[in-house]
Amino acid sequence: MKHIKVFAPGTVANLGCGFDVMGLTLDGVGDVLEVGVAENAEGFEIRNRSGVELPGNVEENVITPAVRALLEAYGRPVRIEVEILEKIAPGSGIGSSAASSAAAVYGVNELLGGTPHADNVGPALLGGVVLVRGYRPFDIVRLPVPDNFFYAVAHPGIVVSTREAREALPKRIPLSDAVAQWGNVGGLVAGFALRDVALIGRSMHDVVAEPYRKGFIPGYDALKEQVLAGGALAMNIAGSGPSVFALASNYEAAVRISGEMKRHFEGLGIGCNS
Ligand code: HSE
């Protein structure tokens, strides 16, 4: 059996206004998997050594459909063993499912010598700031990132299921909200392309998801007011939450703001990593 150890980063989806179409990767936070592959053999096994609670049944692990899709494209018998060594907690809002499926598919793909389908796992695989211009077919665009772009992310110790956070969203939105949203998405993409962090910050305004999801995050409005008053260029929900992010134009400000966000949650009796 051939082996490879893979790191896949945590990701923050939406970036405020870009619901389901924008995402970026985080430095130094992510999943580590060891993937083993034997050709001309069969079987699929996942072992969890991460200490984070995950479904014991292989069929319920998010890795499974991603790896099966790749194997279907490959078309020959392969035995796969995946050992999960480090894991972002599920329900954190920083791309737990994306990280493990991206890492597993990347690992299998490398060991099998590469097939084109690996690209489909999306932003966690590509890195940087990513726009999903279309899903069918996938049209993924990596955007430039300004040098003075810093993200502070706080992960409070509560779980928000993405399914519930999606069910909380309206199925239809008024045209005036749609106009506001696509104006901001345009501003966000222009901000990256022009490397203009102030334009990025004022475009991270969301009328589609944040108003319906912020109730899942204790003290959200008060925290946002405090963080913006303290110099953040934007604050919003990371993916479907409960993690939140703030944008800053220098590292020191991002560190200070991440401390403020951590203290906010701890003050409410909720443990927090930032
Ligand atoms: N775009 C998805 C959502 C990301 O906001 O529901 C989930 O983390």
| Residue 164 Cβ contacting ligand 1 at under 6 Å | no
List per-residue pLDDT tens for the chain, 274 residues long: 999 999 999 999 999 999 999 999 999 899 999 999 999 999 999 999 999 999 889 999 999 999 999 999 888 999 999 999 999 999 999 999 999 999 999 999 999 986 554 444 556 778 899 999 998 888 889 999 999 999 999 999 999 999 999 999 999 999 999 999 999 999 999 999 999 999 999 999 999 999 999 999 999 999 999 999 999 999 999 999 999 999 999 999 999 999 999 999 999 999 999 9
CA distance 207 to 217: 17
Q: What is the rounded CA–CA span in Å between residue 23 and residue 148?
A: 18
d(CA 129, CA 192): 9
The answer, yes or no, to whether any atom of ligand 1 lies below 6 A from the CB of 243, is no
pLDDT of residue 232: 98
Main-chain phi, psi angles of 217, to 5 degrees: -115, 110
How much is the pLDDT for 153? Answer: 97
Q: Decide: 162 in ligand 1 pocket, CB within 6 A.
A: yes
Q: Is the CB of 239 under 6 A from ligand 1?
A: yes
From 167, 169, 240, mutation site for ligand 1 pocket: most ligand atoms within 8 A of C-beta: 240
**Spacing, Cα 42 to ligand 1 middle (Å):** 34
User: Which atom of ligand 1 approaches the CA of 19 most closely?
Assistant: 1
* Closest-lying ligand 1 atom to the alpha carbon of residue 165: 6
pLDDT on residue 122: 59
Residues 142, 261 contacting (CB under 8 angstroms): no
Residue 216 pLDDT: 98
pLDDT of residue 176: 98
Atom 6 in ligand 1: which residue has the minimum CA distance? Answer: 240
Query: Taking a C-beta distance cutoff of 8 angstroms, is the pair 215, 167 a contact?
Result: no
Assess whether the C-beta atom of 97 lies below 6 angstroms from ligand 1. no
pTM of the model: 0.89
